[in-house]
């Protein structure tokens, strides 16, 4: 499990995407940060705030909208909410 938050994980999803599970919600997100291509597979996920933080320069993005919450990125993160697979 990546993301280091017990309620969150990030997994490769193929085709330049990662799947982020956070607080029972699932998102398909660009695998690289819009700032300088940091690998979001190694990003930190804050499940409570539904954010992912890039490991390279620490831009933090809203998983729902892709908007930059804090950090140097001036680009929006591609994100899409998906239905979570039932277990």
Tell me: does residue 63 bind ligand FES (CB under 6 A): no
In the complex, the smallest distance separating the C-beta of residue 68 from ligand FES, rounded to whole angstroms, is: 9
User: Do 25 and 60 touch, CB atoms closer than 8 A?
Assistant: no
Closest CA to 44 of 2, 10, 3: 3
Tell me: does residue 33 bind ligand FES (CB under 6 A): yes
What does the DSSP 8-state code read for residue 42?
A: G
User: Do 20 and 29 touch, CB atoms closer than 8 A?
Assistant: yes
In the complex, the smallest distance separating the C-beta of residue 59 from ligand FES, rounded to whole angstroms, is: 4
Tell me: does residue 16 bind ligand FES (CB under 6 A): no
Q: Which residues bind ligand FES (CB under 6 A)?
A: 33, 35-38, 54, 56-57, 59, 71-73
């Amino acid at each position: 499990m990546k993301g280091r938050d017990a309620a969150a994980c990030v997994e490769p999803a193929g085709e330049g995407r990662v799947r982020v599970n956070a607080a029972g919600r699932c998102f398909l997100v660009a695998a690289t940060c819009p700032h300088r291509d940091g690998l979001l597979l190694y990003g930190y996920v804050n499940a409570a705030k539904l954010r992912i933080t890039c490991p390279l320069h620490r831009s933090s993005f809203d998983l729902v909208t892709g908007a930059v919450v804090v950090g140097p990125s001036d680009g929006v993160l591609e994100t899409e909410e998906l239905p979570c697979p039932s277990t």
